[in-house]
């Protein structure tokens, strides 16, 4: 075990230090002073003052406290006394309301329980007993609650730790396989079960240790930067946990959260290790690890829309956040009996932590060390058939192997490790997702809107204004005259056929009324733009908005990342040729500069083809479902792009947007290719590229707003950053990063 | 080996020690909590309910925008102003008339009703209550914030749903995705397990929408488009009520019946059916507007002549035994003219007129915005005026005992 531990630490300490440093920077940024918020120390001092002179200050507050920021008595410069007093009294009100709110819940549940039976009745009974206990047992103290909310809400460290654990789990078990030592190791006395058990012990110890390191670092930084309020106060003092049904203090909750989070991280690293010993393939491990994190992220992100859902509350990321689990009583129906979410989580964690280690040992001992042969045969069969097809269709390729380095590199990139098949699967997924995203609209309102906008399309001329006025008059007239016309029909003064026409007009006018208001609002917008010196036209913008505001393309991301991560790395291992072929290759005539150039050219051309295919898929489905009319209209005709500073037409902007996006993706492909040379290992390339592209976006989601609109994800969505005016420097920045990395790769390859 | 094992235990101990010393130096103040505040939903204290069986015929078409709706012993209303763009916390409430409890229809006592996890979040003010289920549209623009209170996402979503109260089950009939725009004619008829409604139906052949009567099986959600070919507007009729196996409808002038598939049209008779038309199961009551006043009349199902009831009113509702109505005469609050200041009832022949109460008897002038009569009680929401100034709207539900005229107010938050 000591040997395994030393081996592990020797590989881990560098990435660990880097990630700890990143975590520290993020913590420092999150805990920075905000000049708009009352300084923590002033509020703490004021609470102390209030504690000593409560009666006098109550009286002072009752008589009225200054709201101006100039003549404040207690507040620091730039703030009013009223703001300080509100800090105190908002907490007093919160505490005063607490038991009343619980009593309301208890009463409500009691009334509902009377009319319910079975599972629902048991849920209500649990609510009553838990909240009655909380009502009697929770002690809420008046204090300035500081530190804890930010600390519990801080999530960036979790992602950094997850990345580290994916790396740790995979390297721990795959190292022997990678260097071909695994069969030998298995043949020795302690080479199977004991080795696997030692590796699992190391994994567990190191996971726990790095978790505690990250926790301690984060906690200490929060302590020194913000400080923490009393750990003896009831956890319900925090709004997010006001309805927590359990009686516990902040300190107890902190320890509980440590335990839950430790179990979650342990479960994750063991699951990642199981994947590792099952596939022994860095790419597959990366994809599986990403999938685990991705699925739990999706579940986590769905929580705002489904806050009570089981999966969105007990998924990996939700478990790591802990607060949702204890925020309120939630239960799942287990054969008619309610099981609370913390219990469900325990029922998941405990068996998982017990079952995973034996499963890893079993797999390590008896597994073939690769994907099951049947799978490989099938995959090989598919790619082999495709290769044969290409050779049949292009007979020259079979009889006369190309001497072009570019062709050879392209061929190698496409067929190495089934990259083409992988890309094809992703493209199929892309087609499916695009078809779902761009379904033809069947909404009546949109159809009417489209009709109006087609009539009005173009500049807001006097004729069009007249048309709108006339249409408004016509609709109002139809709606207003209906009763009179109906009376004429009832009185026999109107034939049935004519009345049917009246009814038809009435129904149409009724449906168009609100849509016409929307079109009239657009005219107001056009006039506002004109006043500000910009020109805007009438455009049916549903399709344009769909085109300009696309989500991040995950399929393209993986289609570029996975095939290109081995462009150089494959030359450093034995997969494509003999082990360490790079050394031999570089001694040949064209092995340095020409090979390097052709590899990059190949990657750029292939990524351009990929991007073209992906864009074509989007455009095909978009144009099938929506129209993109009046392409010569000014861009600010769309209210959603109002802030865009440059005078472009929709068509020009569309081209610019697609070009900018293509450029960004090509830069990303170049970056991946460069990382492949610099890091020399697929797993490292995948991790580094994923950190570069995705982690900043996750950090934004979890509060690091400094990255908002500056992440790779938001940049490839283009329009939001173009509208905010930050796109050009950021695009250039990404391209510069790609260029510098390519330069570094060139240097490294040329050594 | 022990020496080389990373110091988990010291780390834990260190953390625990730091935790003990982490306070800011200031112990918190044990704050004496006040008694629970009274709340306005829940069991009504000293609730007295002495019903005299008198319901409304259940197969009349339901008007969606009517705020108060009665179904199966419960009176429904929403306790605020639901908004697709704001987290108002407004939700649908159910007043159990027998027990005197007012509770949110959302079955979760811990729900704050201000997020999409609540089945009634984004609730449209036009809704329908029938046979223990609520039918409604949801539409919202939901802003998602992270733990730090920073806006991180915005979600648009709209759908058409049914909420079955007996099973606490939400069924989505139509998912409109992010299309929050909506046009609908707000009248529906619930009959024989079907929901009859009006809709703009899309015809892919002509790439146009046509206005049709549609029928949805409330259990399977399956929709049938009724009333002729799809490629032309087919709604020239307004369904009124169902009786036996026939649906009764009018084009405003002619009353006719059709079978549940909207076929086998049988003309009955002609009259003025342009206004409100209700059935009590045996006779048809309808209104006509004369000089701005509503005049009530009735006719038999066989069309055997129209009987003028001699009732003039500003608003009316029908129960098995009575017609409840508000006076047509205007009255003034300060300089503001209001109508319907007095509540009356009469029998189905327009006789035995009883004045129930003056709405301004208790010192505030009221203009009723919604009215419902069940089992000898009248329930309403109202705009409240003082000296011509509107001072409140729908903050309270008013119950009037039809026998005594006693007015009781219930807070609805």
B146 within domain boundaries: no
Closest chain A residue to the Cα of B186, Cα to Cα: A510
pLDDT of residue A591: 67
B261 within domain boundaries: no
pLDDT of residue A377: 59
Q: Is residue B27 less than 8 Å (CB to CB) from chain A?
A: yes
How far apart are the C-alpha atoms of B58 and B130, rounded to whole Å?
8
Three-class secondary structure of residue A130 per DSSP: helix
Q: Is residue A251 less than 8 Å (CB to CB) from chain B?
A: yes
B310 within domain boundaries: yes
Q: Is residue A194 less than 8 Å (CB to CB) from chain B?
A: no
pLDDT of residue B149: 67
Bridge pairing between strands B187-191 and B62-63: antiparallel
For residue A694, give how far its alpha carbon lies from the nearest alpha carbon of chain B (Å).
Answer: 15
How far apart are the C-alpha atoms of B409 and B378, rounded to whole Å?
12
- For residue A391, give both structure tokens: 């050779």
Q: Residue B28: which of A143, A447, A700 has the nearest Cβ? A: A143
Helix, strand, coil percentages for chain B (3-state, nearest 5)? 5, 50, 45
What residues of chain B lie within 8 A of the CB of A441, using their CB? 179
B375 within domain boundaries: yes
How far apart are the C-alpha atoms of B37 and A98, rounded to whole Å?
10
Tell me the DSSP string of A619-657.
HHHHHHH-----TTSBGGGSGGGTT--S--BHHHHHHHH
Give whole-number Cα distances, B70 to A168, B55, B64, B212, B321, in Å: 63, 9, 12, 27, 17
Label residue A125 by pLDDT band (50, 70, 90). Answer: very high
How far apart are the C-alpha atoms of A26 and A702, rounded to whole Å?
11
Is residue A170 within 8 Å of residue A281, measured between CB atoms? no
Higher pLDDT, A464 or A279: A464
How far apart are the C-alpha atoms of B61 and B188, rounded to whole Å?
5
Tell me the DSSP string of B124-153.
EEEEEEETTEEEEEEEEEEEEE-TTS-EEE
Higher pLDDT, A411 or A579: A411
- Give the closest residue to A642 by CA, choosing from A529, A518, A550, A729: A529
Three-class secondary structure of residue B34 per DSSP: coil
> Do the Cβ atoms of A229 and B28 come within 8 Å?
yes
pLDDT of residue B236: 66
A595-610 per-position pLDDT tens digit: 778 888 888 898 999 9
Residues 109-138, chain A, touching B (beta carbon < 8 A): 109, 111-112, 120, 124, 127
Helices (H), A179-281: 182-187, 193-225, 250-279
Residue with tokens 């460069």: A674
pLDDT of residue B39: 41
- For residue A532, give both structure tokens: 């500000």
- For residue A404, give both structure tokens: 């072009």
Is residue A683 within 8 Å of residue A282, measured between CB atoms? yes
User: Other C-beta atoms within 10 Å of B242: how many?
Assistant: 24
B166 within domain boundaries: no
Q: Counting beta carbons within 10 angstroms of the beta carbon of residue B397, is it exposed (0 to 12), middle (13 to 18) or buried (19 or more)?
A: buried
How far apart are the C-alpha atoms of A334 and A348, rounded to whole Å?
14
For residue A568, give how far its alpha carbon lies from the nearest alpha carbon of chain B (Å).
Answer: 37
What residues of chain B lie within 8 A of the CB of A511, using their CB? 183, 200, 211
What residues of chain A lie within 8 A of the CB of B15, using their CB? 212, 215-216, 219, 258
- Give residue B401's domain range: 280-413
Is residue A128 within 8 Å of residue A106, measured between CB atoms? yes
Q: Strands of B260-358 (E only): list them.
A: 266-270, 277-279, 283-290, 293-300, 306-313, 315-318, 322-326, 330-333, 336-339, 342-347, 354-358
Helices (H), A565-709: 581-585, 593-625, 650-679, 682-701
Q: Counting beta carbons within 10 angstroms of the beta carbon of residue B52, is it exposed (0 to 12), middle (13 to 18) or buried (19 or more)?
A: exposed
Q: What are phi and psi of A248, to 5 degrees?
A: -155, 155
How far apart are the C-alpha atoms of A367 and A278, rounded to whole Å?
7
How far apart are the C-alpha atoms of A199 and A182, rounded to whole Å?
14
- For residue A57, give both structure tokens: 């200050």
How many contacts (CB atoms, under 8 Å) link A and B?
232
Q: Within 13 A of A314's CA, how many CA atoms are on the CB side?
A: 17
Q: Counting beta carbons within 10 angstroms of the beta carbon of residue A540, is it exposed (0 to 12), middle (13 to 18) or buried (19 or more)?
A: buried
First to last CA, chain B: 66
Per-residue confidence in pLDDT tens, chain B, 413 aa? 344 444 445 555 555 544 444 444 445 555 544 443 334 678 888 888 999 999 899 999 999 888 899 999 999 998 877 776 666 678 899 999 998 999 999 999 998 888 888 899 988 888 999 999 999 998 888 887 766 666 777 788 888 999 999 888 999 998 887 777 666 678 899 999 999 998 888 888 887 888 888 999 999 999 999 877 766 666 667 899 999 899 999 888 888 899 999 888 888 888 888 889 999 999 999 998 777 788 999 988 876 778 899 999 988 999 999 999 998 888 777 777 878 889 999 999 999 999 999 888 777 788 888 889 999 999 998 888 877 777 766 668 889 999 999 888 887 65
A384-401 per-position pLDDT tens digit: 676 666 666 655 555 555
> Any idea what the Cα angle at residue B345 is, between residues B344 and B350, rounded to 5°?
120
How far apart are the C-alpha atoms of A412 and A568, rounded to whole Å?
11
B131 within domain boundaries: no
pLDDT of residue A178: 64
First to last CA, chain A: 38
- Give the closest residue to A159 by CA, choosing from A703, A701, A699, A687: A699
> Do the Cβ atoms of B29 and A141 come within 8 Å?
yes
What residues of chain A lie within 8 A of the CB of B99, using their CB? 111
Instruction: Work out the angle between the directed axes of helices A2-30 and A156-178 (0-180°, nearest 10).
Output: 150
Instruction: Work out how many domains chain B is built from and give that number.
Output: 1
A324-366 per-position pLDDT tens digit: 889 999 998 888 899 999 898 888 888 888 888 888 888 877 7
> Do the Cβ atoms of B15 and A496 come within 8 Å?
no
> Do the Cβ atoms of B29 and A489 come within 8 Å?
no
B17 within domain boundaries: no
> Do the Cβ atoms of B183 and A514 come within 8 Å?
yes
pLDDT of residue A578: 47
Residue B295: CATH number of its domain: 2.120.10.30
Query: Which residues share a beta bridge with A210?
Result: none
Mean pLDDT of chain A: 82
User: Other C-beta atoms within 10 Å of B167: how many?
Assistant: 11
What residues of chain B lie within 8 A of the CB of A213, using their CB? 11
pLDDT of residue A288: 75
Residue B29 makes CB contacts below 8 A (sequence gap 6+) with A51, A54, A141, A142, A143
Q: Within 13 A of A539's CA, how many CA atoms are on the CB side?
A: 28
Helices (H), A78-192: 81-114, 118-137, 148-153, 156-178, 182-187
Closest chain A residue to the Cα of B14, Cα to Cα: A216
Q: How far is CA A297 from the centre of its chain?
A: 7
How far apart are the C-alpha atoms of A504 and A380, rounded to whole Å?
64
How far apart are the C-alpha atoms of A701 and A711, rounded to whole Å?
11
In terms of phi and psi (left: phi > 0; alpha: psi -120 to 50; beta: otherwise), the region of B89 is left
DSSP state of A331: E
A198-244 per-position pLDDT tens digit: 888 888 898 999 999 999 999 999 998 888 888 999 999 998 899 99
B52 within domain boundaries: no
Q: Residue B31: which of A92, A155, A321 has the nearest Cβ? A: A92
What residues of chain B lie within 8 A of the CB of A495, using their CB? none
How far apart are the C-alpha atoms of A523 and A471, rounded to whole Å?
14
Higher pLDDT, B408 or A571: B408
Query: Which residues share a beta bridge with B127?
Result: B136
- For residue B397, give both structure tokens: 């539900």
């Amino acid at each position: 075990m000591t040997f395994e531990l030393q081996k592990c630490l020797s590989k881990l300490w560098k990435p660990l230090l880097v990630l700890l440093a990143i975590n520290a920077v993020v913590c420092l940024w999150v805990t920075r002073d905000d000049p708009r918020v009352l300084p923590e120390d002033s509020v703490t001092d004021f609470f102390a003052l209030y504690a000593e002179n409560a009666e006098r200050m109550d009286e002072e507050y009752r008589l009225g406290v200054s709201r101006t920021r100039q003549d404040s008595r207690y507040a620091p410069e730039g703030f009013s006394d009223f703001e300080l007093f509100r800090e105190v009294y908002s907490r007093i009100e919160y505490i005063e309301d607490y038991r009343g709110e619980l009593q309301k819940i208890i009463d409500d549940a009691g009334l509902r329980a009377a009319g319910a039976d079975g599972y629902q009745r048991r849920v209500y009974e649990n609510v009553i007993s838990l909240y009655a206990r909380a009502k009697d047992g929770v002690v809420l103290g008046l204090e300035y609650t500081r530190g804890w909310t930010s600390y519990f809400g801080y999530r960036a460290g979790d992602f950094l730790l997850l990345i580290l654990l994916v790396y740790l789990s995979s390297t721990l078990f795959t190292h022997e396989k990678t260097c071909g030592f695994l069969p030998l190791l298995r043949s020795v006395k302690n080479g199977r079960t004991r080795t696997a058990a030692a590796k699992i012990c190391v994994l567990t110890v190191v996971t726990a240790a790095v978790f505690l390191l990250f926790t301690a670092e984060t906690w200490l930084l929060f302590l020194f930067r913000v400080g923490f309020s009393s750990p003896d106060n009831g956890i319900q003092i925090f709004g997010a946990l006001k309805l927590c049904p359990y009686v516990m203090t902040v300190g107890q909750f902190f320890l509980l959260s440590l335990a839950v989070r430790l179990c979650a991280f342990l479960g994750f690293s063991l699951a990642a290790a199981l994947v590792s010993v099952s596939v022994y393939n860095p790419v597959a491990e990366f994809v599986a690890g990403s999938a685990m994190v991705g699925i739990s992220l999706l579940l986590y992100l769905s929580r705002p829309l489904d806050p009570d859902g089981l999966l969105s509350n007990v998924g990996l990321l939700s478990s790591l956040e802990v607060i949702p689990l204890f925020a309120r009583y939630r239960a799942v129906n287990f054969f008619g009996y309610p099981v609370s979410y913390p219990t469900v989580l325990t029922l998941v964690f405990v068996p998982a932590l017990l079952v995973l280690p034996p499963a890893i040992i079993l797999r390590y001992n008896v597994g073939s060390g690769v994907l099951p042969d049947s799978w490989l045969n099938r995959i090989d069969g598919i790619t082999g058939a495709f290769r044969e097809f290409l050779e049949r269709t292009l007979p020259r390729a079979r009889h006369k192997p190309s001497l072009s380095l570019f062709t050879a590199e392209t061929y190698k990139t496409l067929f190495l490790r089934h990259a083409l098949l992988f890309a094809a699967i992703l493209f199929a997924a892309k087609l499916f997702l695009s078809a779902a995203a761009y379904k033809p609209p069947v909404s009546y309102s949109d159809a009417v809107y489209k009709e109006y906008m087609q009539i009005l399309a173009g500049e807001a001329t006097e004729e069009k204004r007249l048309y709108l006025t006339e249409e408004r008059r016509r609709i109002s007239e139809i709606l207003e005259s209906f009763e009179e016309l109906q009376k004429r029909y009832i009185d026999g003064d109107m034939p049935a056929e004519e009345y049917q026409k009246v009814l038809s007009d009435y129904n149409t006018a009724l449906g168009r009324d609100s849509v016409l208001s929307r079109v009239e609002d657009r005219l107001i917008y056009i006039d506002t733009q004109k006043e500000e010196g910009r020109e805007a036209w009438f455009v049916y913008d549903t399709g344009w908005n769909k085109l300009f505001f696309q989500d991040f393309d995950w399929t393209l991301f993986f289609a570029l990342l996975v095939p290109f991560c081995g462009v150089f790395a494959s030359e450093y291992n034995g997969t494509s040729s003999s082990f360490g072929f790079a050394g031999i290759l570089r001694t040949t005539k064209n092995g340095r500069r020409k090979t390097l150039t052709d590899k990059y050219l190949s990657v750029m051309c292939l990524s351009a083809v990929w991007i073209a295919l992906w864009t074509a898929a989007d455009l095909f489905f978009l144009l099938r479902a929506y129209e993109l009319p009046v392409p010569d209209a000014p861009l600010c005709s769309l209210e959603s792009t109002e802030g865009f500073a440059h005078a472009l037409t929709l068509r020009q902007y569309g081209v610019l947007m697609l070009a900018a996006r293509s450029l960004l993706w090509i830069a990303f492909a170049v970056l991946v290719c460069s990382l492949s040379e610099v890091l020399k290992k697929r797993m490292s390339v995948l991790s580094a590229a994923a950190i570069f592209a995705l982690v900043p976006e996750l950090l934004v989601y979890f509060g690091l707003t400094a990255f908002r609109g500056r992440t790779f994800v938001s940049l490839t969505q283009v329009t939001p950053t173009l509208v905010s005016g930050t796109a050009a420097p950021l695009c250039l920045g990404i391209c510069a990063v790609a260029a510098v990395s390519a330069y570094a790769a060139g240097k490294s390859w040329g050594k | 080996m022990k020496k080389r094992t990373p110091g988990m235990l010291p780390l834990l101990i260190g953390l625990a020690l730091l935790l003990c010393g982490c306070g800011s130096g200031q112990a918190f103040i044990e704050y004496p909590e006040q008694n629970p505040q009274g709340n306005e939903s829940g069991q009504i204290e000293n609730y007295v309910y002495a019903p005299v069986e008198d319901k409304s015929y259940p197969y009349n078409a339901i008007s969606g925008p009517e705020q108060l709706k009665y179904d199966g012993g419960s009176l429904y209303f929403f306790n605020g102003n639901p908004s697709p763009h704001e987290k108002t916390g407004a939700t649908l409430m159910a007043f159990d008339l027998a027990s005197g409890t007012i509770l949110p229809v959302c079955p979760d006592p811990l729900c704050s009703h201000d997020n999409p996890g609540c089945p009634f979040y984004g609730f449209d003010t036009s809704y329908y209550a029938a046979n223990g289920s609520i039918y409604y549209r949801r539409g919202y623009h939901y802003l998602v914030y992270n733990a730090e209170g920073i806006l991180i996402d915005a979600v648009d979503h709209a759908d058409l749903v049914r909420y079955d109260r007996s099973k606490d089950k939400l069924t989505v009939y139509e998912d409109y995705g992010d299309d929050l725009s909506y046009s609908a004619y707000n009248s529906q008829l619930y009959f024989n397990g079907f929901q009859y409604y009006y809709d703009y139906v899309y015809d892919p052949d002509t790439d146009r929408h046509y206005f049709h009567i549609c029928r949805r099986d409330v259990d399977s959600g399956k929709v049938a488009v009724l009333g002729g070919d799809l490629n032309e507007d087919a709604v020239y009729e307004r369904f009124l009520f169902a009786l036996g196996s026939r649906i009764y409808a009018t084009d405003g002038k002619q009353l006719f019946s059709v079978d549940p598939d909207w076929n086998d049209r049988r003309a009955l008779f002609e009259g003025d059916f342009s206004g409100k038309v209700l059935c009590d199961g045996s006779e048809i009551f309808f209104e006509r507007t004369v000089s701005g006043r509503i005049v009530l009349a009735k006719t038999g199902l066989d069309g055997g002549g129209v009987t003028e009831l001699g009732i003039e009113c500003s608003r009316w509702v029908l129960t098995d035994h009575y017609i409840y109505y508000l006076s047509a005469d205007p009255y003034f609050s300060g300089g503001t003219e209001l109508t319907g200041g007095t509540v009356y009832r009469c029998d189905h022949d327009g006789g035995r007129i009883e004045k129930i109460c003056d709405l301004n008897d208790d010192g505030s002038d009221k203009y009723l915005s919604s009215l419902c009569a069940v089992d000898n009680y009248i329930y309403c929401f109202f705009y409240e005026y003082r000296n011509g100034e509107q001072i409140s709207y729908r903050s309270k539900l008013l119950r009037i005992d039809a026998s005594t005229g006693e007015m009781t107010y219930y807070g609805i938050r």
